[in-house]
Amino acid sequence: EAGVTQFPSHSVIEKGQTVTLRCDPISGHDNLYWYRRVMGKEIKFLLHFVKESKQDESGMPNNRFLAERTGGTYSTLKVQPAELEDSGVYFCASSLRQGLNTGELFFGEGSRLTVL
Amino acid sequence: DAKTTQPNSMESNEEEPVHLPCNHSTISGTDYIHWYRQLPSQGPEYVIHGLTSNVNNRMASLAIAEDRKSSTLILHRATLRDAAVYYCILRSLASGAGSYQLTFGKGTKLSVIP
């Protein structure tokens, strides 16, 4: 079974441009999460979808970031316009359900974003 | 989420057991202890989690102190593939329905010596 896949693996853009990152969760996983690690910092939560609904977007840094999950399948994270401080690795994760004993998140390999 | 404290780095010889400690003195009764690891150039990978009792799975064992203020991740025989950053994370059930924020700290960088 395929794991969480992310595209592109690496994107290099100039400041002010737009980038869209895509995440395909594991089939059947209702929960989808975005995390990121910016340079020298720790991995931070961005937001959480349950199917197509945003359950928690408290980690989104500002309104230049827009996440969507139309149809409750794949998700996109758009950064517009990109700034230098947005450079880092963006991770997507999915999980089957939230529960006391099945809290495992499956992470993708990440999309590295470099803003010049 | 309650904070955890881990050593910045540890070394182990290949084929030997590794004990990775984690302190979480402010843990609450509803906090689960989760461990994830991140291999170079990969996303985080779930290792194990527990509440009060020690836990075993195919990857590792988790030993939880009786007062739950500390725990230890045990890799029974370290291999070169186990070289990674290991994160000890508390996940509170009190975070609210629908929220599953994992709070990653700096973790412990484990080096395995051939």
Integer Cα distance of B79 and B68 in angstroms: 28
Smallest CA–CA distance, residue B105 to chain A, in Å, is: 6
Integer Cα distance of B18 and A32 in angstroms: 33
pLDDT given at position A100: 46
Structure confidence at residue A40 as a pLDDT band (50, 70, 90): confident
Smallest CA–CA distance, residue B16 to chain A, in Å, is: 27
Q: Which residues of B touch A (CB under 8 A)?
A: 32, 34, 36, 41-46, 49, 91, 93, 96, 98-106
Q: Which among B46, B98, B102 is the nearest to A50, CB-wise?
A: B98
Residue range B23-52: average pLDDT?
93
Smallest CA–CA distance, residue B107 to chain A, in Å, is: 9
- Write the CA distances from B113 to B14, B34, B60, integer angstroms: 6, 26, 19
Does the pLDDT at position B99 exceed 60? no
Distance of CA B70 to the CA centre of its chain: 11
Structure confidence at residue A1 as a pLDDT band (50, 70, 90): low
Q: Which among B32, B44, B98 is the nearest to A43, CB-wise?
A: B44
A99 or B73, higher pLDDT: B73
A-B CB pairs within 8 A amount to 60
pLDDT given at position B35: 96
CB contact at 8 A, B43 and A107: yes
Taking CA atoms, what residue in A is nearest to B94?
A100
Round the CA-based radius of gyration of chain B to a whole number and report it.
14
**Could you tell me whether strands B84-92 and A19-24 are parallel, antiparallel, or unpaired per DSSP bridges?**
unpaired
Does the pLDDT at position A15 exceed 60? yes
Taking CA atoms, what residue in A is nearest to B33?
A103
pLDDT given at position A101: 44
Paired tokens of B45:
């990978």
Integer Cα distance of B91 and B107 in angstroms: 15
Residue range B21-27: average pLDDT?
95
pLDDT given at position A69: 96
pLDDT given at position B67: 95
A72 or A78, higher pLDDT: A78
Does the pLDDT at position A92 exceed 90? yes
CB contact at 8 A, A65 and A54: no
Q: Which among A42, A45, A91 is the nearest to B43, CB-wise?
A: A91
Locate the DSSP E strands across B1-114: 9-13, 18-23, 31-38, 44-50, 55-56, 61-64, 70-75, 84-92, 108-113
CB contact at 8 A, B3 and B24: yes
CB contact at 8 A, A33 and B91: no
